Amino acid sequence: MLKNILKGIKAYGGSFALISKLKLWKYFFVPILISLVTAAIIGFLAYGLSDNIGAFIAQIWVWDWGKEVFTTVSSFIGATAIIVIGLLLYKHIVMALSAPFMSPVSEKIEAHLTGVPAHSHTDTSFSEQLWRGVRINVRNLVKEILFTIPIILLGFIPVVGVVSTILLFLMQAYYAGFGNMDYTLERHLKYKESIRFVKQNRGLAIGNGIIFMLFLFIPLLGIILVLPLSVTAATVKTVEVLNPKTINKSQ
């Protein structure tokens, strides 16, 4: 799996050049706008709610001694919870709403790589692509929340906390990569088949998602570039797995 993780990461290397070569930047205007608006809303809510959550948690400590320390720790926990929840919601909201705009991008990249005309790849409509994106991302969001809760609880155990942080990051990366890969998979595989495909190629999903998550830590520029580059990188690797013989011949 480590080999595939590295492949997923390395795919970003040629993404910018490929987008420019195929003149795809115009397709990212609406997704970038969705990304910026979603990030702004979640950031505003995070700023406003972190202290409130911290104060709520601090109420558990009924003693006077250590109250100040516990309140400080509670505020940190509240801020961390908001950040984790914010990242969860951000990526799934953006990916779901961007599906109808990302699918044509993925389709054009696939046509370039395989030599098969773009119109031969898909017969789904705008609404069908949107519904597919919403369905996949709601499913992934629920799964991610269910896994996040026990991982966060593990974080309160000394030493294990470091491991839980890594697990949390890798899990978020996996589901981010999952969403990026599905823009290509929706043209080839049904819902359940796509889930099995990503599970079988989870290394590629994690590798793609690692860079996706790191981009989110770059102020503004990261939010603007994260979708164009991550979707392009995911498409290239997904198409290679789906059409190894065609890709090899075209290269």
Work out the mean pLDDT of the chain and round it to a whole number. 85
Q: What pLDDT was estimated at residue 108?
A: 93
| pLDDT at residue 114 greater than cutoff 80 | yes
Q: What pLDDT was estimated at residue 128?
A: 81
| pLDDT at residue 124 greater than cutoff 70 | no
Q: What pLDDT was estimated at residue 194?
A: 94
Which range scores top for mean pLDDT: 49-58, 77-86, 174-183?
A: 174-183
Contact 188, 132 (CB under 8 A): no
| pLDDT at residue 214 greater than cutoff 70 | yes
| pLDDT at residue 60 greater than cutoff 80 | no
If pLDDT is split at 50, 70 and 90, which confidence band does 251 have?
very low
If pLDDT is split at 50, 70 and 90, which confidence band does 118 have?
low
| pLDDT at residue 186 greater than cutoff 50 | yes
Q: What pLDDT was estimated at residue 24?
A: 93
If pLDDT is split at 50, 70 and 90, which confidence band does 52 have?
confident
What number is the average pLDDT over the span 202-222?
93
What is d(CA 40, CA 22) in angstroms, rounded to the nearest whole number?
30
What number is the average pLDDT over the span 157-183?
87
Calculate Rg over the CA atoms of the chain: 20
What number is the average pLDDT over the span 121-150?
83
Lowest-pLDDT range of 17-21, 116-120, 151-155, 160-164: 116-120
Q: What pLDDT was estimated at residue 40?
A: 87
